[in-house]
Structure 1
């Protein structure tokens, strides 16, 4: 879009319960009970933490660990890959889905134990499948239990204990700034095993991934449905425990997936993952569940590390290096905070006092809680005209609320909504619009010091804003903040019109931010443009000038379309600073549509780590 044309458009217009972990006498040795996790362990603020991690899943390996004739090297290659790439791929945990071996014999379990020597340093779970054991989890001693019982997991930091029989285990995994519970359940869970699992869930109110061997099966279309044992797990454990959002099984082929609704009305994603019918007994296939809490998705991919290592693969091997069908490579969309709010809400940082966010050079700081307004109203209550938002910097740049045109009281209301990193836990809701023009602004008084400051040594202007979802109506070129006064009166004629305000932050019809500030010494109009802002979520905006150039940041990230022209200072005219609208020809048209939170002006360039988001 032509920036000049754009400006023309503007001018025109609970108590924890310990997990039982003593193994039965048939198992290798009792494991001591582990302390439960914190009852509430949600994720923290986005800044300063990694929002991505990977859960690795290893499906049935039975044809590769068969004493009748097989090759364990693909299993070892998979485990070596996980160890080698655990940091790069951010692998937080690995889950084996059962049928480790073909017959569950001492010889095969010895081969499995030797293969898992390649997993040194990994945190993982292994559960029993029908080829490893028979009967339910009360079966007593088996070669499987002596190989993959509590003793194997006891030294792992993620391990939280096993059921008394030793066949079911619990693990708490850290990833994406959250804790996650992984339940590894036997292929046939008894009533006692279900009761144990319920106690684990009660003791660890965390987002939970349930793994078992026999859960769902699918036809060739990839649409999965519960098996008989899966139906028992669903009815007796999953549907009534909102924590369980993802359940994974093997046993059947082909692979598939489905989504069911639990008793709380939330989605539970159920997947079957098994490739033993494929070339080379599955060739050590590995599935990655890449959790991305920034994007609210889990990206799933399936590949064979063993085949990736082949120097001269055959055509059949190349065909199976990576699987990209609809049930092998896909994305699961989850609003993690919303999905887990009932039992593991994301912690919100407490409000920060004004004194904590007044760095050297602060010219003005406004917020809309009790500290800034003296006494804020109830959420949704109108803000009466004449209400004063005090300048908490102490410089007297107080703002006074004014309704525009014939706007009613709904044009400006108090709100409890706020950005998670905003110092004050409050904002103002502006209901501006066109045809007819309506809205509200908050303006400094005629003698406020900020009115005539020119900031020739640099400045930082910050605000928090949120656009409504749905974003209804025509709000193209609505103003967010700026100084009043005509550019022409400041001797600036380079813009589209002399009626331009001397400095303003606006939103285009495509929801691009536009920041324009006419500099002091020359006649120029350097303009910065952001990308399209999202609706329905808070955005932090910072405009930083170092005395020569202006840089806009959105959510702490530098945008690409920053002004190339030099721009020293702001050609202010001693007229008010305003929040909630932008003038043209010294008249306000439509006002802002959305929420505005804490706003600060500093007379020097701040680093991103000094912004109001408080990294």
Structure 2
């Protein structure tokens, strides 16, 4: 439905890698490392807790004005941010009945929650007023001044009640243009520009480490303005675009999928479907709220949302919709509320207000899954991190560094006896030992790799247990690594991916990295005497397990990870600071890191295995996974020094 008693009301016609990860390693991961890790690597407690501040972030203690309002200072690098949407407010600005309290309450909410929700922009969807008269615009124009004084980035556009609805944007001067024309936005950092008529504008904001563009289109943009909008996007070819328009889609019946109006179909055909940058459209005008998804010419989803509450109690009470973007979760969480009602004393609320303070229907409170990197890949691809030379990865203390890149053809078999050089220069080369009777090609070179991996390649180990399949790599009998006890600490790192068909019932307890030699032989009376003295294994629940027999203990010490997603690349690091051991997955410390003292690694001077696990002194299982770069360092490294971060 659209605004009642409108003669001109048209009828509607009948569905996180890359740079961010490295930034995280420099900040958030360090905060969770725990006191032991802080002490081990020389990080100050303040830095570890993230209280040292950082460029681009919001200040820890944002200044406030005389009214106690915090400064509007969004964190432009945070991967969580909020776009606020305000639909039709016309019934509150209907001369001579002008009521400003609800919209003022919404603006105060935006300012008060700006830091908590990292609010970066607000978009009004038109029909600011009922009759488009000067006194109505004077009232709402004054209300917006609180946002102007604080420098809040926002956009407005003309709805059919704000201007002569029988005209397009070539209509000339109006009370709307006098109040909300381009002159109001000049000098704002977010203002990009306007059409010569002043009725169409575009705005830019920084969030999640990139630039986003908001197109605010007139009630009826002319062909020249449609061409202008195309040029704006062409001039900002890497910016995702949110298109706002007063009219685009409608949903006559609650819960029914939104459909294009005649004008909306024109915008879709002439502007939206051919411009892949537009991923989200927002419009008011109609009620009830609704949404839909359409595929554009590039085969990508465009989310089409209508939000309008003027038909509800108190003309919608200046309700706002909050679009909470979370780029790491690949999700936009949406909620709808009335700050004016929420801010009132609960004892004074009437029956209708109690129903309207927050809306939780499926078209008012929902989540939208968006794989942002994939969705924006055509026009703003994430730059691929280049391969890094091995010499850069051989940090002081490196005792072994293996990688599987080079000139190998993707899918080519790795022959038995193939040697993989230890790039640390310490002589700990690996040799492939095929499983007895293993089929040719069950170990192969691969062009796949973790996006933050130094070497652009891996080895595919198609291993198993019953019968043994694939193969494993092993150090030579006289390799220096076999004798190393790591009494002063260590860091063990590996990149790996478990295939989609990885089966906990068949592949459990295979090892990424392990050491020959049973704990019983090492005279460790507490524990399983037949298990290896060192192993980095995978449980049936796809949890990483670092189970070792330290030098200073009669039993084992075990770190546990969490369930890992299949068919996805991971990085694991196990760090010992000569006191205790911490496991990190993708640079983040896991919860089950024991606080017990743990010094060094027991050795029987026997070889290490990559992709093999021995039990009772015999090869028991081989790994079913891709393995990328593996590095062993004889000291504790900070997370920002891991291969994933450097």
What TM-score do you get using the length of structure 1 for normalisation? 0.89
**Residue 431, structure 1, aligned to residue 462, structure 2:** yes
**Residue 97, structure 1, aligned to residue 72, structure 2:** no
Conserved in 1, the CA contact under 8 Å of 2:489 and 2:635? yes
1:470 Cα shift?
4.9
**Residue 59, structure 1, aligned to residue 87, structure 2:** yes
Give the alignment of 1:1-20 within 5 angstroms.
Answer: none
In 1, Cα distance between equivalents of 2:216 and 2:202: 6
1:139 aligns with one of 171, 177, 187: 171
Conserved in 2, the CA contact under 8 Å of 1:222 and 1:327? no
Give the alignment of 1:72-87 within 5 angstroms.
Answer: 72-87=100-115
RMSD: 1.9
The structure-2 alpha-carbon separation of the partners of 1:595 and 1:51, relative to structure 1 and needing over 3 Å to count, comes to: farther
Give the alignment of 1:160-199 within 5 angstroms.
Answer: 160-199=192-231
In 2, Cα distance between equivalents of 1:169 and 1:352: 44
**Residue 573, structure 1, aligned to residue 609, structure 2:** no
Deviation digits for residues 93-123 of structure 1 (CA, Å, limit 9, x no counterpart): 1111111111111111111210101113111
The structure-2 alpha-carbon separation of the partners of 1:276 and 1:172, relative to structure 1 and needing over 3 Å to count, comes to: same
Show the counterpart of 2:14: none
The structure-2 alpha-carbon separation of the partners of 1:170 and 1:384, relative to structure 1 and needing over 3 Å to count, comes to: farther
1:515 Cα shift?
0.9
Gaps of 5+ in 1: 1-41, 371-375
1:406 Cα shift?
2.2
Show the counterpart of 2:154: 124
In 2, Cα distance between equivalents of 1:414 and 1:171: 48
The structure-2 alpha-carbon separation of the partners of 1:244 and 1:580, relative to structure 1 and needing over 3 Å to count, comes to: same
Show the counterpart of 1:48: 23
Show the counterpart of 1:377: 408
Show the counterpart of 1:245: 279
Between stretches 327-336 and 305-314, larger displacement belongs to: 305-314
Secondary structure of 1:534's counterpart equals coil
Conserved in 1, the CA contact under 8 Å of 2:125 and 2:283? yes
In 2, Cα distance between equivalents of 1:513 and 1:472: 15
Show the counterpart of 1:544: 575
In 2, Cα distance between equivalents of 1:159 and 1:437: 65
Conserved in 1, the CA contact under 8 Å of 2:559 and 2:592? yes
The structure-2 alpha-carbon separation of the partners of 1:257 and 1:531, relative to structure 1 and needing over 3 Å to count, comes to: same
Give the alignment of 1:468-507 within 5 angstroms.
Answer: 468-471=499-502, 474-496=506-528, 498-507=529-538
2:245 aligns with one of 197, 202, 212: 212
Conserved in 2, the CA contact under 8 Å of 1:45 and 1:421? no
Conserved in 2, the CA contact under 8 Å of 1:65 and 1:101? yes
**Residue 353, structure 1, aligned to residue 328, structure 2:** no
Between stretches 385-394 and 456-465, larger displacement belongs to: 385-394
Deviation digits for residues 326-370 of structure 1 (CA, Å, limit 9, x no counterpart): 111101011111111111111222222223333332211222223
The structure-2 alpha-carbon separation of the partners of 1:461 and 1:215, relative to structure 1 and needing over 3 Å to count, comes to: same
Show the counterpart of 2:263: 229
User: Structure 1 runs of 4+ off > 6 angstroms?
Assistant: none
Secondary structure of 2:305's counterpart equals strand
The structure-2 alpha-carbon separation of the partners of 1:43 and 1:604, relative to structure 1 and needing over 3 Å to count, comes to: closer
In 1, Cα distance between equivalents of 2:344 and 2:18: 40
Gaps of 5+ in 2: 1-16, 25-77
Between stretches 413-422 and 340-349, larger displacement belongs to: 413-422
Secondary structure of 1:405's counterpart equals coil
**Residue 519, structure 1, aligned to residue 550, structure 2:** yes
2:380 aligns with one of 344, 355, 366: 344
Secondary structure of 2:83's counterpart equals strand
Deviation digits for residues 48-106 of structure 1 (CA, Å, limit 9, x no counterpart): 25321111111111112222313112112212222232222111211111111111111
Show the counterpart of 1:12: none
1:472 Cα shift?
5.5
1:420 aligns with one of 439, 451, 455: 451
Show the counterpart of 2:417: 386
Conserved in 1, the CA contact under 8 Å of 2:18 and 2:451? no
Conserved in 1, the CA contact under 8 Å of 2:401 and 2:422? yes
**Residue 320, structure 1, aligned to residue 356, structure 2:** yes
The structure-2 alpha-carbon separation of the partners of 1:515 and 1:156, relative to structure 1 and needing over 3 Å to count, comes to: same
In 2, Cα distance between equivalents of 1:253 and 1:177: 35
What TM-score do you get using the length of structure 2 for normalisation? 0.85
In 1, Cα distance between equivalents of 2:106 and 2:447: 50
The structure-2 alpha-carbon separation of the partners of 1:470 and 1:59, relative to structure 1 and needing over 3 Å to count, comes to: farther
Show the counterpart of 1:27: none
1:201 Cα shift?
2.0
In 1, Cα distance between equivalents of 2:615 and 2:130: 78
The structure-2 alpha-carbon separation of the partners of 1:43 and 1:155, relative to structure 1 and needing over 3 Å to count, comes to: farther
Deviation digits for residues 440-476 of structure 1 (CA, Å, limit 9, x no counterpart): 2221111111111111121111111122235467322
Deviation digits for residues 418-456 of structure 1 (CA, Å, limit 9, x no counterpart): 222222222222222343221222211111111111111
In 1, Cα distance between equivalents of 2:295 and 2:502: 29
Conserved in 1, the CA contact under 8 Å of 2:98 and 2:136? no
Conserved in 1, the CA contact under 8 Å of 2:194 and 2:200? yes
Give the alignment of 1:433-452 within 5 angstroms.
Answer: 433-452=464-483
1:222 Cα shift?
4.3
Secondary structure of 2:138's counterpart equals helix
How many equivalent residue pairs?
A: 568
1:294 Cα shift?
0.7
Conserved in 2, the CA contact under 8 Å of 1:83 and 1:121? no
Show the counterpart of 2:645: 614
The structure-2 alpha-carbon separation of the partners of 1:43 and 1:357, relative to structure 1 and needing over 3 Å to count, comes to: closer
Conserved in 1, the CA contact under 8 Å of 2:127 and 2:158? yes
Deviation digits for residues 190-217 of structure 1 (CA, Å, limit 9, x no counterpart): 2111111111222222222111110111
Between stretches 505-514 and 186-195, larger displacement belongs to: 186-195
In 2, Cα distance between equivalents of 1:159 and 1:383: 58
The structure-2 alpha-carbon separation of the partners of 1:470 and 1:156, relative to structure 1 and needing over 3 Å to count, comes to: farther
**Residue 530, structure 1, aligned to residue 558, structure 2:** no
